Amino acid sequence: MLSYSLKRLGLAVAIVSVAMLLLFAMIYLIPGDPAAVALGPRATEAMREALRIKMGLDQPVWIQFWNFFINAWQGDLGNEVLSNRPVAKVVMEQLPSTLALIVGGMAWSIALGIPLGCWTAVKRGGMADRIVGVFSVAVIAVPSFVVAIYALLIFSVSLRWLPAIGAGEPGDIGDQLVHLILPSLAVGLGWVGYIARMVRASMLEVLEAPHIRTARAFGLPDRQITYRYALTIAILPTVTLLGVGIGQMLSSAVFAEIVFARPGVGKLVYDAILTRNYPLVTGAVLVTTVLFILINLIADLVVGYLDPRVRSRL
Amino acid sequence: MNVLGIRNLNVTFGTEGGPLRALRNVSFDVPRHRIVGVVGESGCGKSTLINAILGLLADNGQVESGQILFEERDLTQMDSLEMQAMRGSRISTVFQDPMGALNPVISVGKQMLHIQYRSDLGRTEKNARSVEMLRRVRIPDPKSALSRYPHEFSGGMKQRIAIAMAMMMEPVLLIADEPTTALDATLEVATIELLQELQAQIGCSVLFISHHLGVIAELCDDVVVMYAGEVVERGTTRQIFHDPLHPYTERLLRCDPAGQSTRTRHLPTIPGEIPDLRDPPKGCIFADRCDRRETICETAPPEVEMGGHRACCHRVKP
């Protein structure tokens, strides 16, 4: 298990490095002079030249990349243009809010998707199976911002059950959770459908396996066979899928944060793009990338933990 | 006294092409402490028979009529909870494929612990019992085997673990579904000997399903010959192997490669195919492939009995 974890960790570091290279190339290829953008139209050529030297833009491209690479690994993502605060600090301030949103979305998709998938697999062909099937496809097809707007209209505007905007009072966990319900539903609802379909398909496959027949022949209770003997195997592809799903949830989070006026990395990137705050865009995207890779790493480790065959193979 | 008595059992599967009559009027007994072999080619209804006894028929399968008497109680009348109480404690099963028969993500010890869920023993005693069973099937270092997973064992060892699990609750009836078919020849002999040894120790009856005639002759006291969902002949192993009455049994014995005394490029086969069980022939089920067919074979043959040896054929005269 230790060597498996180390291998996955090594791979994660390599992927982050490649992501950094791509990100750097992207900024480098954007037309326009960052110093000119930062200083605005009324700056003199001398001021621009001074800033270019300060930002290291006079250096050869590979030295620029090397500096960016080394600094980024040390947690220094440069300073943002408007207030000159460190980008890392600005992004980290917004990260908890986005993390809460993603975790909330995951919670919805797991808490609803896995039981629905199990239930429809056990009762396959029945009315419930068909209804959940249609529901799943429907929620997969609806974009998250549409879910966000309708959730807002129904639960906040018409019914007035839940707050419409913001993230809740700082320090008040209960209030923050209430503010989290609708945005996380918007982010996670599509994944309820994905996971229900996925779990159903793999449950149907596993329930046909010879070892399930053995378990039945030993008279084990149906509940134990479904949840302990079948679901622990059927869940494995879903765990991997969830790792990928986080990536999509991160992009849905941008819409959810804008619609519900929540602070967060998505909102930060959106505002940074509008104000051409390139260092902030880069930093936020890099942090999001690292987050995505970390979550996939965790998903792989969880699969390794759950499946002894994977554990011993690596 | 019989542990298992099957009486005129009819099992039908609903298929798109109409009802498929997989078992028709199947009757035989498994007496106490005896090993009864069921032999027949693929598609003769061996697996359906096992699933019917275990109450694990597929959703489209149904016992139409007949009885499965187990210790005087009719299993076909039991509800699913009563059947579940029988499985694993009174009736145990060893399946054909040792590779897939054990759950891959649960350790051997946990699986053996789960099987004992009906016992009142504490966890430590249950584990001690698992270790004892693994020792009896000669798993090396049985204590550490408990924490290992199925993929860490070889095929033969997995089959022995499966046997240990099946024997753990000391069943009255052990159903062995081709337990040696997936193993190579040396392991086959060892597994047969192990089954014999455990059967003698525990004193259970065994219903042994196989298409391997040599294994049947070696292990079984009685033999039931099945063809296309019917029992065509049954008797003691000696009667079946030395004095077969039904033409199918005769042909089957001739097809056993172990019985070939001369070198040949062509092993004997029985020409023809199993009839379509959605529309089985009115008369003798084997008539289409029988080389001694007569006009009378177009009517259903009677079951003829001679000293416990029974066969369903018009040509057999008591």
CATH number at residue A176: 1.10.3720.10
CB atoms closer than 10 angstroms to residue A192: 25
Dig out the tokens for B57 from the structure.
């028929």
Contacts of B149 in chain A (CB under 8 A): 308-309, 312
Last residue of one domain, picked from the residues A72, A87, A102: A87
Contacts of B92 in chain A (CB under 8 A): 217-218
Length of chain A: 314
The number of C-beta contacts closer than 8 angstroms across A and B is: 77
The verdict on B306 and B285 lying in the same domain is: yes
The verdict on A41 and A152 lying in the same domain is: no
The verdict on A77 and A161 lying in the same domain is: no
Closest CA to B34 of B214, B221, B170: B221
Dig out the tokens for B295 from the structure.
């006009």
Range of the domain at B243: 32-59+78-90+171-312
Which residues have CB under 8 Å from A211's CB, separation 6+?
A229, B100, B101, B102, B103, B104
Handedness of CA A133, A137, A140, A145 (dihedral sign): negative
Residue B64 lies in a domain: no
Confidence class for position B173, pLDDT limits 50, 70, 90: very high
Tens of pLDDT, residues B136-157:
988 999 999 999 999 999 888 8
Contacts of B78 in chain A (CB under 8 A): none
Tens of pLDDT, residues B89-136:
899 999 887 788 899 999 999 999 999 998 888 899 999 999 999 999
Last residue of one domain, picked from the residues B149, B170, B191: B170
Residue A233 contacts B where some CB pair is shorter than 8 Å: yes
The verdict on B43 and B191 lying in the same domain is: yes
Residue B83 lies in a domain: yes
Residue A60 parent element (H or E): none
Least confident of A51-55, B61-65, B168-172: A51-55
Confidence class for position A1, pLDDT limits 50, 70, 90: low
* pLDDT at residue B68, rounded to an integer: 93
Last residue of one domain, picked from the residues B153, B170, B187: B170
A228 CA: distance to closest CA in chain B (Å): 9
- Going from the C-alpha of B16 to that of each of A31, A296, B13, B20, B95, the distances in angstroms are 66, 45, 10, 9, 29
Q: Which residue is it, tokens 């054929």? A: B313
Handedness of CA A172, A177, A182, A184 (dihedral sign): positive
* pLDDT at residue A307, rounded to an integer: 86
In order, the DSSP letters of chain B are: -EEEEEEEEEEEEEETTEEEEEEEEEEEEEETT-EEEEE--TTSSHHHHHHHHHT---TTEEEEEEEEEETTEEGGG--HHHHHHHBTTTEEEE-S-TTTSS-TTS-HHHHHHHHGGG----HHHHHHHHHHHHHHTT-SSHHHHTTS-GGGS-HHHHHHHHHHHHHHT--SEEEEESTTTTS-HHHHHHHHHHHHHHHHHHT-EEEEEES-HHHHHHH-SEEEEEETTEEEEEEEHHHHHHS--SHHHHHHHHT-GGG--S--SS-----S-PPPTTS--SS-TTGGG-TT--GGGGSPPPEEEETTEEEE-TT---
Tens of pLDDT, residues B273-311:
788 888 888 888 888 888 888 888 888 888 888 888 988
The burial class, CB within 10 Å (0-12 / 13-18 / 19+), for B79 is exposed
Give phi and psi for B27, each to the nearest 5: -135, 130
B247 CA: distance to closest CA in chain A (Å): 35
Residue B10 has pLDDT above 90, yes or no: yes
The verdict on A119 and A205 lying in the same domain is: yes
The verdict on A243 and A216 lying in the same domain is: yes
**Segment A187-208 mean pLDDT:** 90
CATH number at residue B291: 3.40.50.300
The verdict on A53 and A151 lying in the same domain is: no
Residue B2 lies in a domain: no
Last residue of one domain, picked from the residues B118, B150, B170: B170
Closest CA to A234 of A201, A211, A212: A201
The verdict on B190 and B296 lying in the same domain is: yes
Average pLDDT, chain A: 84
Last residue of one domain, picked from the residues A87, A106, A121: A87
* pLDDT at residue A156, rounded to an integer: 76
A236 CA: distance to closest CA in chain B (Å): 11
The verdict on A164 and A231 lying in the same domain is: yes
* pLDDT at residue B223, rounded to an integer: 93
Residue B112 lies in a domain: yes
The verdict on B113 and B262 lying in the same domain is: no
The verdict on A83 and A107 lying in the same domain is: no
* pLDDT at residue B279, rounded to an integer: 82
The verdict on B159 and B52 lying in the same domain is: no
Contact A210 B101 (CB under 8 A): yes
The verdict on A56 and A113 lying in the same domain is: no
Q: Which residue has the higher pLDDT, A37 or A9?
A: A9
Confidence class for position A314, pLDDT limits 50, 70, 90: low
Strands B35-39 and B205-210: parallel
Residue B261 lies in a domain: yes
The verdict on A129 and A228 lying in the same domain is: yes
* pLDDT at residue A313, rounded to an integer: 64
The verdict on B163 and B175 lying in the same domain is: no
**What does the angle CA A177 – CA A181 – CA A185 come to, to the nearest 5 degrees?**
145
Contacts of A217 in chain B (CB under 8 A): 54, 56, 87-88, 92-93, 95
Residue A13 has pLDDT above 60, yes or no: yes
Range of the domain at A195: 94-313
Do the Cβ atoms of A255 and A147 come closer than 8 Å?
no
For the whole model, what pTM was predicted?
A: 0.79
The verdict on B304 and B179 lying in the same domain is: yes
Report the percentage of chain A scoring pLDDT > 90.
Answer: 11
The verdict on B162 and B181 lying in the same domain is: no
Tens of pLDDT, residues A213-244:
999 999 899 889 988 999 999 988 888 888 88
> Residue B103's closest chain A neighbor by CA?
A211
The verdict on B233 and B249 lying in the same domain is: yes
Residue B5 lies in a domain: no
How many angstroms separate the CA atoms of A112 and A108, rounded?
6
Q: Measured between CB atoms, which of A209, A219, A306 is closest to B88? A: A219
The verdict on A54 and A194 lying in the same domain is: no
Tens of pLDDT, residues A140-182:
888 888 888 888 888 877 887 877 777 667 777 777 777 888 8
The verdict on B217 and B133 lying in the same domain is: no
| Count of structural domains within chain B | 2
Exposure string over B110-128, b if 16+ CB within 10 A, otherwise e? bbbbbbbeeeeeeeeebbe
Residue B206 has pLDDT above 90, yes or no: yes
Best to test chain A binding among B78, B108, B114 (most A CBs inside 10 Å): B114
Tens of pLDDT, residues B25-83:
999 999 999 999 999 887 788 889 999 999 988 888 899 999 999 988 999 999 888 99
Confidence class for position B268, pLDDT limits 50, 70, 90: confident
How many angstroms separate the CA atoms of B143 and B121, rounded?
18
The verdict on B115 and B187 lying in the same domain is: no
Last residue of one domain, picked from the residues A66, A87, A108: A87
Looking at the predicted complex, does its ipTM rise above 0.90?
A: no
| Count of structural domains within chain A | 2
B165 CA: distance to closest CA in chain A (Å): 9
The verdict on A214 and A255 lying in the same domain is: yes
**Segment A251-261 mean pLDDT:** 84
**Segment A270-280 mean pLDDT:** 81
